[in-house]
Chains A and B, each alone.
Chain A
Amino acid sequence: MAIASKVMPYDEVRRDLWRPLSGASSRYIVVLVLLSAVALWGLVAWGYQLYRGIGVAGIRRPVFWGFYLVNFVFWIGISHAGTLISAILRLTDAGWRKPVTRAAEAITVFALMIGGMFPIIHLGRAWLFFWLFPYPNSRLLWPNFRSPLLWDVTAISTYLTGSIIYLFLPLIPDVAQLSTHAAGWRRLLYRTLSLGWTGSDREWHALERAMKLMAGIILAVAVSVHTVVAWDFSMSVAPMWHSSIFGPYFVVGAIFSGIAALLVVMSIIRKTMHLEKYLTPHHFNNLAKLLLLMSLLWLYFTVAENLTAWYGNEPKEMSVFGARVRGNFAPYFWIMVFCNFAVPFVLLGIRRLRSILTATIASVTVLIGMWLERFLIIIPTLSFGRLPAAWGHYAPTWVEISISVATFAVMGVLYLVFSKLFPIVSVWEFEPHSEAEE
């Protein structure tokens, strides 16, 4: 149960949650400038790559896909934070979700924007990315819908559209309230976004139905998106990629890293925006338990994937498997297992140890572990192809590392700006009468 709504008058809730919108502390400015600088550096690196050619990245034959696609899968995975928390909890009417939904949905939208950029950054001729869209053209050329990359384009653009709508819908009553209190450009912004919301019974009814509907749709889309991302790999004939487990494995991994990202963001905004009364240990406890569950599911899938490959003992698969668990990729593999399983299992599995701090620590290690997981799925398979004569090793260059790091800064910048413009915790859901609407 949302504790704040029980004990606090609505006016006080509103004051609390609107406070971060006005003014900016010097700490906020410093962090914003720093993150923007890192993001800008990433842009410089990308500009350099566009100017010189994709060869400034470390990718090579036979490892044609490198950091960019690792980041792509990672960020699309992060985007599952919003969907799971908000859509599942909304559909099941879990009352405790209220203070965390918007924070989660914002992660989804921003992570998708970032993740969706990587396939473009990765292109040899990035300026022609629009050739992947089915637009009318004089040569009557269509994209190839048999290609999993086209499924990607379709799934991700659908997901991005859907999650923007899903973020926007519950924002309408909030911006409508804000527009009556704000002045200047903010008033204009909020009034425009509120779409003429007056708060009539009919509008509430329509909004409630739209949110329920979107929650159902977005859930289906989210599962399909990460399945399609997995199919980029499993539709190929490459050893260890061509696996039927990849679809569900990727979905589980995505939700796993999504919850971790949400926990990290929640503990940051809880401290910096003084939301201790709204994001309570209760929320962290619930999400930590979900994280633990996903960690166990992840372990199950990882064991299932690797055990079958090892037992089958096919030479081509074994060269990839061997490189992963005892070859040159082994350190990353065992760090991944430590980060994704050992840390959450100990810190969150033992009830005495479970706290906001340990949940945050476990989430950070899970994020590291899940990034490594994507790395370990993509690179070893390409390094150890079917003909040993064409084996080769990949190392990223400063361009790839800069762009990768910069995207985390972009996430920070987008989040900082968003939290300055809109209440990061949905305000209207604390309104007493809205309780009755559900």
Chain B
Amino acid sequence: MNQSNQTQHRWGMAIDSDRCTGCQACVAACHAENNLPLSDAESAARGRAVHWIRVDRYYEGEFPDIRVKYMPVLCQHCDEAPCEPVCPVYATYKNPEGLNVQVYNRCVGTRYCANNCPYSVRFFNWFDPVWPSPLDLQHNPDVSIRMAGVMEKCTFCIQRINRAEREAKEEKRPLADGEVQPACVQSCPAEAMVFGDLNDPESKVSRLAESGRSTRLLEELGTQPKVFYLQRAT
């Protein structure tokens, strides 16, 4: 809250896997917000489905004492992103606010970034996207449609971040914590997801990231992801 407009943001997310019910509302919300291409059963079976966020399931214990743990996995916006240096045309890079962004117009489709992403959260446009009517009429005007042959992935809803920052600037006030919410966070009925500025030590996401329950996915690879998973330490 004690931020001026000049301060650089560093966006991050905390996901409480003890709260997540695996309802997939985040997946649906992301589809609607970001104009994700749809796929039919056949193309999904061929590994062509696009979900910028997916819910991985982990089973703990032996039957019948089984516990399912859900883990929504999206682009981790790594500080040391393995996808970035391998792109030959700088189509993916780190923007000043710490977001790992994808420049669709620049992408030529080598797919090297996707191979080098240990989280498998990058998705390729194998064909031009199609939406069966009337879904073609509900596109989000703030998000561009991606053409065949380019890579895409979670943007932390950069369009929402940009809009909020613009509005705050016009009103000459700092962005409040929680003012920006990506579609997945907004739609989570269990309130398992929190988004915010990691540069602000008072923000909710910063405090959760500092808590003892916080871990990061595959952090042993040195990728320094900015998504924090909270779970009971057992």
Contacts and interface: CB of A to CB of B under 8 A. Distances in A.
B109 A123 contact: yes
Contact of B87 (A55, A124, A144, A392): A144
B111 A124 contact: yes
Interface of chain B, main secondary structure: loop
A123 B112 CA distance: 10
Interface in B105-141: 106-112, 114-116, 118-120, 122-128
A203 B46 CA distance: 62
B89 A52 contact: no
A390 B86 contact: no
A124 B115 contact: no
B174 interface: no
A146 B124 CA distance: 22
A61 B123 contact: yes
Given A143-B89, A144-B89, A129 B108 contact: yes
Contacts of A123: 108-110, 149
Contacts of A146: 85-86
Contacts of B57: 389
Q: How large is the interface on A (under 10, 10 to 19, 20 to 34, 35 or more residues)?
A: 35 or more
Interface of chain A, main secondary structure: loop
A385 interface: yes
Given A128-B108, A131-B108, A389 B88 contact: no
Interface residues of B, number: 41
A417 interface: no
Interface string B46-58: 1110000010110
Given A144-B87, A237-B221, A125 B120 contact: no
A235 B86 contact: yes
Interface in A35-76: 52-55, 58-65
B164 interface: no
A64 B87 CA distance: 14
B120 A147 contact: no
A82 to B, nearest CB: 27
Given A54-B109, A149-B88, A60 B48 contact: yes
Interface in A148-169: 148-150, 153
Contacts of A389: 54, 56-57, 73, 120
Contact of A386 (B109, B118, B147): B118
Given A124-B148, A144-B85, A232-B112, 4 more contacts: A54-B126, A132-B108, A141-B89, A238-B118
8 A-B pairs with the lowest CB-CB distances in the bound complex, closest first: A124-B109, A55-B126, A124-B149, A60-B47, A390-B120, A125-B149, A64-B111, A53-B127
